[in-house]
Amino acid sequence: MPVKCLDADVLTRIKQERSEEYLVKLIDMFLKEAPMRIQEAWEGGKAGDFKKAALSAHILRCLADNIGALSIRDLAGAAETAASGPKETTMTVSQILFDLEIAFAETRACLLIARQGIAEKS
């Protein structure tokens, strides 16, 4: 079953409550910030700094929630929880971050399509 990467209702609400221009800026910000937060989480996990990994995952979860990036939101929440747990969760955190990388690639494609649709209407 394919993963639903975006909540269309969230995108519609942002366009209605703010503007299409605001949504494009939000998409651009997410596409810039999310990879940095994923990288920070990886760095924290590799260094055994699970507090850093958890914080990066928390920020990513909030960014994803704001734009309706469902799979990223859910995986970032799982990474945050795992990184906040016992030290033996290292493999769990790594697996979640690996899945998060894949989810970001899928979500990035969805967001670029959404962004292109807005640009074509303008």
- Give pLDDT, residue 42: 94
The residues spanned by each domain of the chain are 19-121
- The structural architecture, per CATH, of the domain 19-121 is Up-down Bundle (1.20)
Mean pLDDT throughout 47-66? 95
Q: Which of the pair, 1 or 87, is modelled with greater confidence?
A: 87
Which DSSP string do the residues of 46-57 spell out, in sequence order?
HHT-HHHHHHHH
CA–CA separation, 14 and 110 (whole Å):
16
- Give pLDDT, residue 4: 73
- Give pLDDT, residue 1: 34
Mean pLDDT throughout 16-39? 96
Which DSSP string do the residues of 40-100 spell out, in sequence order?
HHHHHHHHT-HHHHHHHHHHHHHHHHHHTBHHHHHHHHHHHHHHTS-GGGHHHHHHHHHHH
Q: In this structure, what token pair is assigned to residue 18?
A: 């703010």
Query: Global pTM?
Result: 0.90
pLDDT tops 70 at residue 122 = no
Mean pLDDT throughout 86-90? 68
Q: Which residues of 35-69 are buried (b: 16+ CB within 10 A; e: fewer)?
A: eebbebbbebbeeeebebbbbbbbbbbebbbebbb
